[in-house]
Amino acid sequence: MCGTRGFIQENFGKVKMEDPNLKSIINDVGFRFNKALGQNFISDANLLTAIVADSGVNADDVVVEIGTGGGTLTRALSAAAKRVISFEVDCNLQSVLALSLRGIDNVEVVFRDVLKMSDEELRALTGDSFKVVANLPYYITTPLVMRFLESALDVKSLTVMVQQEVADRFVAKPDTADYAAITLAIESCADARITRKVNRKNFYPVPNVDSAVVRIDVDRTKLDGEDAPLLRKLFKAAFAMRRKTLANNLSAAFGIDKQDASERITKAGFSPMVRGEALSLEDFKKLSRQF
């Protein structure tokens, strides 16, 4: 994207240096934060260590990071992992990263948008399997998580910093306000849990929301024998209009009349007046057999 790849190693060799101070590098090179790209960098060293620990990354792991930013998490990951492939879209960070990642020889920064890359292009960079660890740009959290969960790539886990309210949605239980289509999309192929809550003061510049780290361990066997595309369509349909009954939502999404939708819901073992938010993943599997 910026016409370079792996520039850190090429330009600076393998000289080891002390942990650089990100704020002074940013000031020295005159980097200007781009709010539209969700640039809130982690400024707390203990938090970096904690995220790496939460991710369970070890010396056998290849790590994919989305959003290199100033490179502080990248650097912490590089100390624990075999290799880190870090994606960033802001070419203005090149001069910051050249300094903050100086001397590190197992990191490759790729200036490309992973949302615009095919699985094959990713695999060429990452190899067969990897873990995702990232302080995600918040404006595209859900597409990024789903890009990896729905891909054919062997993604072992995702450990991601997201807005607190998004984290709550990722791990919500049925019949709660946070329970959503994304909850089920994650639950159907992974086990997710919040590993820590993170105060906004741990970022630079300070954002106007608090955050949380979520670890999502991928388990693709959860949908063995199920029609995954149909289930995903059901999840989306069920939450399309939260105030409406499931029958109304299914009728709209599947182009069937309401009576037909109600009968299918009843045959699956639920009240025709039920709302989507009351159904668990297992309930949705039962419902899918009526379609």
- Give the burial class of 189: count Cβ atoms within 10 A of its Cβ; 0-12 exposed, 13-18 middle, 19 or more buried: middle
User: Is 206 among the residues that bind ligand SAM (CB under 6 A)?
Assistant: no
How many residues form the binding site for ligand SAM (CB under 6 A)?
23
Residue 284 one-letter amino acid: F
Pairing of strands 154-163, 129-135: parallel
State yes or no: residue 276 binds ligand SAM (CB under 6 A): no
Residue 86 and residue 108 in contact, taking contact as beta carbons nearer than 8 Å: yes
- Which long-range contacts link 222-227 to residues 24+ away (Cβ below 8 Å)? 222/187, 222/188, 222/189, 222/190, 222/281, 223/188, 223/189, 226/285, 226/288, 227/288
Cα pseudo-dihedral 289, 217, 138, 43, rounded to 10: 170
41 binds ligand SAM (CB under 6 A): yes
Strands annotated E in 152-205 = 154-163, 190-198, 203-204
Structure token pair of residue 227: 């029609």
State how far the Cα of 24 lies from the Cα of 135, in Å rounded to an integer: 21
Applying CB under 6 A, does 69 fall inside the site for ligand SAM? yes
Q: Pick between residue 98 and residue 140 the one whose CB is nearest to ligand SAM.
A: 140
Among 87, 130, 148, 239, which residue interacts with ligand SAM (rule: CB under 6 A)? 87
**What's the half-sphere exposure (Cβ side, CA atoms, 13 Å) at 133?**
29
As a whole number of angstroms, the distance between CA 170 and CA 161 comes to: 12
Span 130-189, contacts to ligand SAM by CB under 6 A: 135, 137, 140
40 near ligand SAM, judged by CB under 6 A: yes
Stretches 107-115, 172-180, 248-256, 281-289: which one binds ligand SAM (CB under 6 A)? 107-115
Residue of 8, 26, 42, 62 that binds ligand SAM (CB under 6 A): 42
Piece of 8-16, 83-91, 168-176, 258-266 that binds ligand SAM (CB under 6 A):
83-91
According to the binding rule CB under 6 A, does residue 38 interact with ligand SAM? Answer: yes
Beta strands 190-198 and 129-135: pairing type?
unpaired
Q: How far is the CB of 133 from ligand SAM (least distance, A)?
A: 9
Does residue 88 touch ligand SAM according to CB under 6 A? yes
**Whole-number minimum distance, CB 72 to ligand SAM, in Å?**
5
Interface region with ligand SAM, contact rule CB under 6 A, candidates 66-74, 212-220, 233-241, 251-259: 66-74
Q: Does 63 bind ligand SAM (CB under 6 A)?
A: no
Q: Decide whether 122 or 234 has the Cβ nearer to ligand SAM.
A: 122
Binding positions for ligand SAM, rule: CB under 6 A: 37-42, 66-70, 72-73, 87-90, 113-115, 135, 137, 140
